[in-house]
Amino acid sequence: MTEKRFDGIFTALLTPFDKNDDINVDSLKKLVRFNLDMGVRGFYVTGSTGEAFLLSTDERKLVMETVKDAAPDATLIAHIGSVNAKEAGTLAKYAKELGYDAISSVAPFYYKYSFAEIKDYYFRLADTAGLPMLVYHIPTFSGVNMGISEMSQFLSDDRFMGIKYTSNDFFTLEQCKASFPDKIVYNGFDEMFLAGLSMGADGAIGSTYNFMADKFVKINELFGADRLHEAQAIQKNANEIITALCKIGVMPAEKEILTQLGIPMGDCRHPFSPVSDEVKEIVKKDIIPLI
């Protein structure tokens, strides 16, 4: 088996639902193939974008299995994070069993844990799975902010492969990469991918890649070839689309785009609202032509 690569573009996979609000396995396979065809290196499975916290443990396992079956050769990172650390442990073991390449977790949230407790959560999961651990840093959602001194406590350890960095504090991103050049840093906000690259990111994990990964694969290539202005033009085009998505709700709109492109995704789960007819029209008239 060839060594899996962790640089490049990773789609934070959306989770398609059918009419009964169950996982749509068929659409999930199509979505994986569609993304492989756009040139992604791999997938970040059941993360925020995959509605992890709205899925049961069995549903999370089903998504993980389906993706592994559909993309056995891609690099696969399972987000196993949960507010319930025991569930996270179960999923971490399952990721190992399925042959995933790494696990990742958001910091334990809702209760206000000390940093020592957060650290213990991560180290236990890394030991449970025996897979490289990717810290998922998303302070606006988790409420857990970490600076370079906290991050260093993970990145200096062999069990940690790097950080998925979803924040616009690029100075801290740069400090992570400069202090730990051998670790992988993923840019988390798609609309700032080029900025992240210029501060040292090795790649990116993002939600808009579900339907436009090809643009980001290209930005990455152009950046690597020092063709910055061409990369900028593509980022600008992508950002027109992301600006439109932000106005109507990012994940519901992403699902609607894919549905209109021929992969039925269903709505995001309650308490997200179903996509309105007005949003469907906006997607059709204003967004699809920009892709």
Residues of this chain that bind ligand MN9 (CB under 6 A) = 12, 48-49, 141, 166, 188-191, 205-208, 242, 250
User: Taking the complex as a whole, how short is the minimal distance between the CB of residue 3 and ligand MN9, in angstroms?
Assistant: 25
* CA dihedral over 218, 224, 230, 231, signed as positive or negative: positive
Q: Is 136 a catalytic residue?
A: yes
Which position among 164, 215, 218, 255 bears the catalytic label?
Answer: 164
Which of 177, 100, 105 is closest to 141 using CA atoms? Answer: 105
User: Taking the complex as a whole, how short is the minimal distance between the CB of residue 39 and ligand MN9, in angstroms?
Assistant: 17
Cα–Cα distance measured from residue 108 to residue 150, given in angstroms and rounded to the nearest whole number: 15
Q: Would you say 205 or 248 has its CB closer to ligand MN9?
A: 205
Which position among 136, 165, 186, 209 bears the catalytic label?
Answer: 136
Q: Is 164 a catalytic residue?
A: yes
User: Taking the complex as a whole, how short is the minimal distance between the CB of residue 127 and ligand MN9, in angstroms?
Assistant: 26
Q: Would you say 15 or 208 has its CB closer to ligand MN9?
A: 208
* Separation in Å, CA 198 to CA 39, 61, 124, 219, 290: 21, 36, 33, 12, 25
Q: Which two tokens stand for residue 262?
A: 């021929």
Q: Would you say 132 or 206 has its CB closer to ligand MN9?
A: 206
Cα–Cα distance measured from residue 189 to residue 27, given in angstroms and rounded to the nearest whole number: 25
Q: Would you say 228 or 250 has its CB closer to ligand MN9?
A: 250
User: Taking the complex as a whole, how short is the minimal distance between the CB of residue 191 and ligand MN9, in angstroms?
Assistant: 5
Strands 8-12 and 42-45: parallel
Among left, alpha and beta (phi > 0; psi -120 to 50; other), residue 51 is left
The catalytic site residues sit at 136, 164
